[in-house]
Amino acid sequence: MSAIYTTNVGGCEEQTFNAISSVFVQTVNPKSAIYVFTDAIASDVDQWRTVTETNTRRKLPIYTMFLPNANCTINQYSEGYRALQRASEFSGGLTQQPTLDSLEKIFQYTMKATSYRMNSVLTDDLNQCDTKGSRIFFIDSSADSIIIFAVGQNLILSVTDPNWNKSAALLVYNSNTSYFWEVTNVIPGEHLLSITSQNVFMSRSDYDLFFGTANVIDEDASDTEPVVGKAKHIVAQLNGLYNAVQDRFRLFAEITITTNINRDNQMHKPMYFSSGKYRDGCGYHLYFGLASFCEFADQQFYATVYADDKNGYTIQRTTTGYCSMSTL
């Protein structure tokens, strides 16, 4: 961390995507987090797609932290900023703007929320924080900790657990636009969540989700992203569930695919919903049918998979994706 507090003055732009690309030649486990610290916008904007497409299989979430720069103002509407934000969103990460005083705490809590066995239950990226109502999410019996972290102004979060306790989540840290809540008394079952912001909801448990598409029904995942204008078989892998299903013919499984980026300017617009079946001959063991749901290239979406755990509680996991123009 000491290197971050350097007094050396750099420029107002950096080849940030070139630096991120260097990670992909390393041996890194899937879903391992990438932390980007910068005080400048990206100058190599044309490389954002290369980073996103290279990252499509391993899904390393990118958490970008823009630090204060006395010589340059970070323009959030510049292409260099928006490209880094887009890369973070497409990977399931977040973009934050800590101060130098709050950086260590924000990084500490971000690390805690993205450490070993922390899996994404719910992810959302809202351009306008004015949506109303609550969202339902499910916690399975293997979860022992829940962390919600979000970016926005004057955020208020409400989590209602199965016992109708409306103060289940405690605010553990807040600085500027970064918020972190934690639920330590985890009760399996259905919960209600109310928050309007860019947020990531993590649970420490045994189940991790990977989403894919296949060209034929008996093929394992050949691609990780759907292609515009092409019907693909929708498949998923839920680590922890594979070979642990008691009755494969009675397994409950569903998928919901929604998007906030669409021609109707609708939040959480449904793209594809389906029940699922178990495929014991494939690594991607959950099958959700044949579908073509993409409207246009680079349309970001959220794929949420539901299934029963060994105790009958619902497992919920979410991953991000985007619509590709060609097979990756």
Instruction: For residue 161, give the CATH number of its domain.
Output: 2.60.120
The predicted structure's pLDDT at residue 176: 87
Q: Which of 33-42, 105-114, 149-158, 298-307 has the lowest mean pLDDT?
A: 149-158
Structural domain includes residue 219: yes
171 and 251, same structural domain?
A: no
Backbone torsion region of residue 240, taken as left when φ is above 0, otherwise alpha when ψ lies between -120 and 50, otherwise beta: left
What percent of the chain stands above pLDDT 70? Answer: 93
Structural domain includes residue 103: no
Cα 282 to Cα 243, 250, 277, 285: the distances in Å are: 11, 18, 12, 5
149 and 88, same structural domain?
A: no
214 and 311, same structural domain?
A: yes
Structural domain includes residue 328: no
What are the pLDDT digits (tens) for 120-144?
888 877 665 555 667 889 999 999 8
- Per-residue pLDDT band at 14 (split at 50, 70, 90): very high
197 and 152, same structural domain?
A: yes
310 and 237, same structural domain?
A: yes
Number of domains in the chain: 3
The predicted structure's pLDDT at residue 168: 79
The predicted structure's pLDDT at residue 128: 56
Q: Which of 97, 127, 155 is the last residue of a domain?
A: 97
Q: pLDDT at residue 66 above 70? A: yes
Cβ atoms 310, 240 nearer than 8 A? no
Place of tokens 């600085």: 175
Structural domain includes residue 5: no
Q: Which domain holds residue 212?
A: 208-323
Structural domain includes residue 113: no
43 and 80, same structural domain?
A: yes
274 and 192, same structural domain?
A: no
- Per-residue pLDDT band at 7 (split at 50, 70, 90): low
290 and 273, same structural domain?
A: yes
CA distance 13 to 84: 12
Cβ atoms 80, 41 nearer than 8 A? yes
What percent of the chain stands above pLDDT 90? Answer: 54
Q: What's the average model confidence in pLDDT over 95-111? A: 94
Q: Which of 185, 205, 225 is the last residue of a domain?
A: 205
CA distance 286 to 173: 38
CATH number of residue 315's parent domain:
2.60.40.1930
Q: Which of 171, 205, 239 is the last residue of a domain?
A: 205
172 and 145, same structural domain?
A: yes
317 and 234, same structural domain?
A: yes
296 and 243, same structural domain?
A: yes
Q: List the structure tokens of 91.
A: 């990977």
What are the pLDDT digits (tens) for 235-283?
999 988 877 777 777 778 999 999 999 999 888 899 999 999 988 888 8
Structural domain includes residue 75: yes
Structural domain includes residue 7: no
315 and 281, same structural domain?
A: yes
CA 251 to chain centre: 25
What are the pLDDT digits (tens) for 220-239?
888 889 999 999 999 999 98
Q: pLDDT at residue 77 above 70? A: yes
CATH number of residue 81's parent domain:
3.40.50
pTM summary value: 0.85
The predicted structure's pLDDT at residue 57: 81
Structural domain includes residue 143: yes
Q: CB-based contacts of 295: which residues, under 8 Å, 6+ apart?
A: 228, 262, 263, 323
Residue 326: other Cβ atoms inside 10 A? 11
